[in-house]
Amino acid sequence: MSVPRLIVFDLDFTLWDCGGVWCDCLCPPFRVQEQRIEDATGRLVRLYDDVHAILKHCDDQVISIALASRTEQPGWARELLTHLEITERFAYAEIYPSSKLRHFAALQQASGIAYEDMLFFDDEMRNIDEVGGLGVTSVFVREGLTAELFHASLNRFAEHRRCDPA
C-alpha cells in the first residue's frame, strides 16, 4: 500500500478545539492544570479525541508529519502545542498568517517531498481547493479529525497512487 511521505495538518478545528473559536481569538495567559489548558476567560483548549492515536500511527509507520496553520498569533499556537506536549512530533511547522499555498511551498522546499506525496487535512474548503490544486491529496475535515476519516483518507491516497500511471 502506498503511503504519503508527508502528512500535513491544520490546527484550528482540525487537530484541536479552542472553545469554539480560532486560537488567535483566545485570551492569554494560558493556564495548565491537571491536563487541562484554559485561556483567561475559561475557554478549554483540547485535542480532538482521536488525535493522539493518529499521531502515534504516523510515528509507527514512520510517516513525517507537519503543520500548516494560518493564524494571526503564531506564538500562541506554538505555546499551545508545547502545553499539549506534541510539538516535537512534527518535522515541519508553518504557522503564520499567510496563504496555505505559501505554507506548502515552504514545506515542499524544506522537505524535498513532492506535492503528490503529501496528504493534507483542513477544516476550510478554500484551503482544500487551493492546496488540492497543487496536486496534494487534500481532505476536508468537518468537525475535528477522527480516526475513521484519517484511515479512509490513507486508503484514498493509496488508491489514487495505485491508479496513477506516473
Return the active site residues.
10, 12
Determine the Cα–Cα distance for residues 16 and 110; give it in Å rounded to an integer.
25
The answer to whether residues 76 and 69 touch, using CB atoms and an 8 Å cutoff, is: no
Reference 52, options 71, 33, 39, 65; nearest CA is 65
Would you tell me the crossing angle of helices 125-132 and 100-111 to the nearest 10 degrees? 50
